Amino acid sequence: MKDALSRGIGGKRKQADPILPEDEAVIWEKGIFGMNNAEPLQNTVFFYCCMLFGLKGHDEHHSLECNQFLLGEDNRGKFIEFRGRSTKTFKGGLAHKELHNKQIRHYCQPGDRCMANFFKIYLDALGNEGPFYRRSLAGSPPRYGSQLVGVNKLKSMMKVICEKAGLKGNFTNHSGKRTCATALYQKGVDEQDIMGRTGHRSEMGVRAYKRGNTDIACTVSKALDPPELKCPKKEPEEACGHLVDISNKMNVRVPEKLEAGGSSTYSYNNCTFISYQ
């Protein structure tokens, strides 16, 4: 292992790329997200289940049920409440008696892309019961059949969404959870609160999912750069001679000929002119 690392093998860890805000905007602009048809609506719900609630892979998605989502509204606005069950980091039983399953309340921003509205339309189309991912049917409004979405389709769902948008990178279902951690990190959210969303039980685990952006990299680089060379300032008298106050003159003649065959005169009002001679 050490010998392989010394030869440069295994030095770079392959990870899923997060989806940046500008990439997310492209997905919306190309109509891959939406609520008018079943497929765009399911794409939207899938992506934001990953991003808002830190779901990963296909196992957590495949076992989702409609009754794990509660829609409501209080004085802070509309919200989606997610109630998690058994996951990779929470199995229940005596071994995890001090732990709690994931319970997240996400408050949605009002507007055309309010996620509470998207989830309501999706859950209503499913009858608000049963498995959360089912085969989409053609037509509008969105409709879904009784057949479940296959495991293989769930595994590649994020990859297909990004390919349709023309995004370049290593995008997998883990990209959604990594997007969640990265977005919160870049907004300065505390690691403990990030762990509450992603479900990580250790700070080391959540740090592996975070990625800084270019602005952060530039700030770090600037802080570590050598100090700038400062030129000594010279007094105007030393640099250019003495100062002449011509502020009382209303008309200033430009000695240089600006046009062929003559010179130009400019009029200035309420101005102070300093001539360096």
* Long-range pairs of 139-148 with CB within 8 A, sequence gap ≥ 24: 139/37, 139/38, 140/36, 140/37, 141/36, 142/35, 142/36, 142/37, 142/38, 142/41, 142/42, 143/38, 144/38, 144/42
**157-164 vs 174-186: helix crossing angle, rounded to 10:** 70
The answer to whether the bond into 232 is cis (omega within 30° of 0) is no
- Contact between residue 69 and residue 119 where contact means Cβ atoms under 8 Å apart: yes
How confident is the model at residue 239, as a pLDDT? 45
Q: Is the pTM of this model over 0.85?
A: no
Beta strand 134-137 pairing with 103-107? unpaired
Which is more confident, 113 or 251?
113
107-111, 140-144, 197-201, 267-271: range with lowest mean pLDDT = 197-201
Residues 25-64: pLDDT tens digits? 999 999 999 999 999 999 999 999 888 887 876 778 888 9
Question: Strand pairing partners for 276?
Answer: 243
27-41, 64-78, 200-214: range with lowest mean pLDDT = 200-214
How confident is the model at residue 181, as a pLDDT? 75
